[in-house]
Amino acid sequence: MAIYEYSGRNLAGDLIQGQREADSAEILAGSLLDMRITPIDIREVVQRGAFVGKLKKTLGLGNPTTTDVILFSRQMYALSKSGVPIIRSLSLIAESTRNEVFADALREVGDDLESGRDFSGALSRHPKIFGPLYINIVRVGEETGRLEEALLRMYEYLDADKVTLEKIKSALFYPALVITAIICAVVFLMAKVIPKFAAIFEKFDLELPLQTRIIIGISNFIADHWLLLTFAVVAAIIGVRSYISTEKGRYNWHRYKLRIPRIGDIVLRATLARFTRAFAMSNSSGVPILQGLAVTAKAVDNDYVEARIRAMRNDVERGESITRAAVATGLFTPLVLQMLAVGEETGRIDQMMEEVADFYDREVAYDVANLTKIIEPLLTVVMGLVVLILAMGVFLPMWDMVKITQR
Q: Where are the domains of the chain?
A: 1-46, 156-407
Q: How many other CB atoms sit within 10 Å of the CB of residue 14?
A: 9
Q: Taking 70 as the threshold, does the pLDDT of residue 1 lie above it? A: no
Q: In whole angstroms, what is the distance from residue 207 CA to residue 143 CA?
A: 85
Q: Taking 60 as the threshold, does the pLDDT of residue 203 lie above it? A: yes
To the nearest whole percent, how much of the chain has pLDDT over 70?
91
Q: Taking 80 as the threshold, does the pLDDT of residue 56 lie above it? A: no
- Strands of the sheet with 15-22, listed across from one edge: 15-22, 2-9, 38-44
Selected residue with higher pLDDT from 89 and 374: 89
Q: 232 near 291, Cβ under 8 Å?
A: no
Average pLDDT in the 274-289 region? 81
Q: In whole angstroms, what is the distance from residue 145 CA to residue 53 CA?
A: 38
Confidence of residue 405 (pLDDT cuts 50, 70, 90): low
What does the pLDDT look like over 139-184, one tens digit per residue? 878 877 788 888 888 888 888 878 877 877 776 777 778 778 888 8
Q: How many other CB atoms sit within 10 Å of the CB of residue 381?
A: 10
Q: Taking 50 as the threshold, does the pLDDT of residue 49 lie above it? A: no
- Note the pLDDT of residue 61: 53
To the nearest whole percent, how much of the chain has pLDDT over 90?
5
Q: In whole angstroms, what is the distance from residue 119 CA to residue 139 CA?
A: 8
Chain centre to alpha carbon of residue 191 = 36
Q: In whole angstroms, what is the distance from residue 393 CA to residue 374 CA?
A: 30
- Note the pLDDT of residue 234: 92
Q: 354 near 277, Cβ under 8 Å?
A: yes
- Note the pLDDT of residue 392: 74
CATH code of 156-407, in short, is: 1.20.81.30
Q: What is the mean pLDDT of the chain?
A: 81
Smallest CA-to-CA distance from 154 within 270, 69, 272, 79 is with 69
- Note the pLDDT of residue 369: 74
Smallest CA-to-CA distance from 328 within 315, 347, 339 is with 315
Q: Taking 70 as the threshold, does the pLDDT of residue 206 lie above it? A: no
Q: 292 near 135, Cβ under 8 Å?
A: no
- Note the pLDDT of residue 239: 92
Q: In whole angstroms, what is the distance from residue 361 CA to residue 16 CA?
A: 49
- 66-70, 186-190, 206-210, 223-227, range with the lowest pLDDT: 206-210
Which range has highest mean pLDDT (7-16, 33-42, 99-108, 134-143)?
99-108
- Note the pLDDT of residue 388: 79
Q: Taking 80 as the threshold, does the pLDDT of residue 289 lie above it? A: yes
